């Protein structure tokens, strides 16, 4: 039996049209865009996650028929990604509170015809800003000239009553804790239902090695941007030479790292810190 070949891709490839075009005979593994409603629900649902063999990752396994094709979906949570995202999350709490306060201040300037309308507006606002709760909330009545005309009312002039929202908000610590707990999550998908979660994650992560290889090929050291070729055969020849260079570079880097680990030695990286995993460059 022939060995299976998988196409590994990022979320840009994942769409109904592309999945249909790839068909059932092409095996693929990809990250699913977080913009898809089904993924949003998955990312925001509380699941009991299990640890992968690599305990830096935990997962929840399910299936999907997105694009008319049955797939295995795996919700992954990465400890390292979660730690990175927590720093940004904490830095943004104050900024988001300021933005929400500005939005509330606009709401507080609106004059409502009745108390019911004012209460409805506060409900809509808090439903839209679920990370916050009202620390203070009241609806106050105010007399004004009919039609909202400016200037002080004249003596004996008929006035009408309007209603204003008086409110102050604070961050909902429980909601923030739930949001924090779900950081570092992403969804991987494959049309090979026989693959295990560990295999899906391992194959997807291997994409990083390929991307680092392309970064090496695009490095200025190759001066590729200075080479102009028109004939297809010459372009193919140059590409083959570059891939062979990458092959030798990768072997040299692997040998260097193995040698450092075997002898328990280190070299200094770009920031002068000792490492046993330097790049060959």
Q: pLDDT tens-digit profile of 93-127?
A: 889 999 999 999 999 999 898 999 999 999 999 99
Dihedral angle sign, alpha carbons of residues 263, 269, 274, 278: negative
CA distances from 51 to 41, 48, 55, 61 (A): 21, 10, 6, 12
Domain assignments of the chain as residue spans, ordered by start: 85-177, 206-281
The predicted structure's pLDDT at residue 249: 86
Give pTM, 2 decimals. Answer: 0.69
**DSSP state, residue 148:** G
Instruction: Indicate if the pLDDT at residue 221 is higher than 90.
Output: no
Q: pLDDT tens-digit profile of 159-205?
A: 778 899 999 999 999 989 988 999 999 999 999 999 999 999 999 99
Exposure string (b/e) for 28-48, b if CB count within 10 Å is 16 or more? bbbbbbeebeebeebeeeeee
The predicted structure's pLDDT at residue 1: 42
What gap in Å lies between CA 117 and CA 79, rounded to an integer? 46
Q: Kindly report the number of other CB atoms within 10 A of residue 163's CB atom.
A: 19
What gap in Å lies between CA 97 and CA 94, rounded to an integer? 5
The predicted structure's pLDDT at residue 211: 76
Percent of the chain with pLDDT over 90: 53
Q: pLDDT tens-digit profile of 125-136?
A: 999 998 999 999
Q: Which pair of tokens denotes residue 112?
A: 């409502």
CA count, 13 A, side-chain hemisphere, 244: 6
The predicted structure's pLDDT at residue 2: 57
């Amino acid at each position: 039996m022939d060995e299976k070949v998988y196409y590994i891709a990022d979320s840009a490839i994942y769409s109904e049209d592309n999945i249909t075009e790839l068909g059932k005979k092409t095996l693929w593994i990809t990250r699913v865009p977080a913009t898809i409603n089904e993924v949003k629900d998955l990312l925001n649902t509380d699941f009991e996650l299990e640890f992968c063999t690599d305990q830096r990752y935990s997962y929840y396994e399910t299936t999907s028929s997105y694009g008319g094709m049955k797939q295995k979906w795996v919700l992954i949570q990465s400890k390292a990604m979660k730690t990175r995202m927590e720093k940004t999350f904490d830095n943004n709490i104050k900024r988001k509170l300021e933005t929400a306060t500005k939005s509330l201040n606009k709401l507080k300037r609106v004059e409502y015809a009745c108390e019911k309308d004012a209460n409805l507006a506060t409900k809509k606002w808090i439903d839209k800003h679920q990370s916050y709760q009202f620390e203070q909330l009241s609806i106050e009545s105010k007399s004004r000239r009919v039609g909202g005309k400016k200037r002080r009312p004249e003596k004996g002039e008929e006035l009408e009553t309007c209603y204003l929202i008086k409110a102050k908000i604070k961050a909902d610590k429980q909601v923030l804790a739930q949001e924090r707990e779900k950081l570092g999550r992403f969804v991987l998908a494959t049309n090979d239902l026989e693959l295990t979660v560990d295999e899906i994650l391992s194959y997807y992560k291997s994409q990083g090695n390929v991307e680092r290889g392309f970064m090496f090929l695009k490095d200025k050291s190759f001066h590729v941007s200075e080479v102009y070729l028109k004939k297809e055969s010459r372009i193919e020849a140059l590409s083959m030479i570059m891939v062979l260079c990458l092959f030798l570079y990768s072997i040299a880097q692997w040998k260097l790292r193995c040698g450092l680990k075997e002898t328990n030695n280190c070299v200094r990286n770009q920031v002068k810190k000792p490492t046993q995993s330097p790049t060959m460059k």
